[in-house]
Structure 1
């Protein structure tokens, strides 16, 4: 079988495809190397910077018959949502609620 010569247009297209394949291959290799480095940095066992420990108050004094459904910490207070939807705001040290909001009807 004889080889046919490429037209100038086909040669340009072939050159473009070769460059495209090379660029895509280099991108994939760089991406895999980046993933490996990120995994190594994340799971290398080095200690992370110490984080501030969350200190819980001794007790929240909820009104009689209410059960907490959710507890959230804000910057300057605690929020406790009772199972009936009532929202209670507590000081950082706990104790009795400093403000309460009834559940919407």
Structure 2
């Protein structure tokens, strides 16, 4: 027995519609992935900022241990284990000391 030629084999109408929906969904997903990758590639260089410049030396008072460090424009703050916040200038000199209260 011979196989029927390709043009004679027809899918039922519901199955043809489903096949078209799957094709459209696939193309939409491919377009979405390309768009997301393009946005990430074009926007990522703008989002990455250089790290702030660290002073050459920062001298903490005796017996203190740094717990957290944060940077601002023109200052560096160090939270210590004895509940103080030490604010330093970019050259490393102490500008301000703030006592913290709380648990």
TM range, normalised to the smaller chain? 0.5 to 0.7
SS at structure 2 position matched to 1:94: coil
- Residue number in structure 1 paired with 2:19: 18
Q: How many angstroms apart in 2 are the aligned matches of 1:104 and 1:88?
A: 17
Q: How many angstroms apart in 1 are the aligned matches of 2:85 and 2:102?
A: 10
Cα deviations across residues 16-40 of structure 1 (Å, max 9, x unaligned)? 31321221232344456x28xx49x
SS at structure 1 position matched to 2:94: strand
Cα deviations across residues 14-68 of structure 1 (Å, max 9, x unaligned)? 3431321221232344456x28xx49x96xxxxx68x656321122232221121
CA 1:63–1:29: 2 relative to 1, 3 Å: closer
Q: How many angstroms apart in 1 are the aligned matches of 2:101 and 2:74?
A: 22
> Any stretches of 5+ residues in structure 1 without a counterpart?
1-9, 43-47
Residue from 65, 75, 78 that aligns with 2:76: 78
Residue from 52, 55, 58 that aligns with 1:57: 55
- Residue number in structure 2 paired with 1:7: none
Cα RMSD after superposing both structures: 3.4
> Any stretches of 5+ residues in structure 2 without a counterpart?
1-11
Q: When the two structures are superposed, what TM-score results if normalisation uses the length of structure 2?
A: 0.57
